[in-house]
Amino acid sequence: MSEQTEIVSKSAVAIEAARAQGRPALITYLPAGFPDIQGTIDAAVAMAENGADVIEVGIPYSDPVMDGPVIQAATTQALAQGFRVSSIFDIVAGITARCDAAVMVMTYWNPVMRMGVHEFSRRLAEAGGAGLITPDLIPEEAGEWFAASDEFGLDRVFLTAPSSTPERVEATVAASRGFVYCVAVMGVTGARAEVSAATKGVVDAAHAAGAERACVGLGVSRREHVEEIGAYADGVIVGTALVAALGEGGVPAVAQLTAHLSGKDVA
């Protein structure tokens, strides 16, 4: 697929800009439609204004595999308020109109399949989205997504974990565009007091397989986590702590926590 060399990856550009500043990229996550659609947009923009380089917006799902209790509660609220998959494009467009952060959509594969991979990809690109993070899609089953993401210039981010074999890591790295999502712990999402001991090994394996950008998610909640992981990873992904902040203190709390995580409030 020679045309891949002509595609400019929005998430790669954002991560490389952070690297040029001598720091890991800060990647932040929010569930779409929480606390409501406008609230998601406002919170995401506040993240961008306070140091987030890449913003993940997750499509709520009624039967999540990876989500911990904080994110489950938020997605349940969004669904109860009538969130529809098509609303994700309004959210992405609302964010990209107001900031320069790369906006990725994180979703299980079924909602994309139900809409149609080509149609979903077209609408995401039109909204200014950077691409998709797909936790339950493996490269061997992603042929249609490869074609659509190439056609519309979208990033495709696959996941590796502590349990991934060397062969699986190589396949994941080869299939990804933008960055590789390194899952730091086995289990569901959630803020943790300490960084998993397996984290560096997952990142090192991705780098060894050729990943130019390996970013770590699951369990990150504090500035010291960002600094520790940033010593060997290219980006740090924070979700649960920010979702909790939004639920408890609204957009101002999200702005404050993002500034802390990015080091903007560190003298």
User: How far, in Å, CA of 48 to CA of 26, rounded?
Assistant: 10
11 in Cβ contact with 104 (< 8 Å): yes
Q: One of 67, 155, 228, 234 is an active-site residue; which one? A: 67
**What is the Cα–Cα distance from 236 to 213, expressed in whole angstroms?**
11
Q: Convert 28-51 to b/e letters by CB count within 10 Å (16 or more is b).
A: bbbbbbbbebebbbbbbbbbbebb
| Kind of pairing between the strands at 159-160 and 155-157 | unpaired
38, 42, 44, 107, 260 from 251: Cα distances, Å: 11, 7, 9, 23, 14
Residue 255 burial (CB count, 10 A): 21
**From 42, 53, 56, 170, active-site residue:** 56
**Is the previous residue joined to 35 through a cis bond, with omega within 30 degrees of 0?**
yes
Establish whether 141 is a catalytic residue.
no
Distances (CA, A) of 31 to 73, 77, 89, 107, 213: 10, 10, 13, 10, 24
Q: Rounded to whole angstroms, what are the CA distances from 129 to 24, 89, 94, 100, 133?
A: 21, 8, 10, 11, 12
**Is there a catalytic annotation at residue 56?**
yes
Question: Please, what is the Cα angle at 27 between 199 and 136, to 5 degrees?
Answer: 65
| Residues with catalytic roles | 56, 67
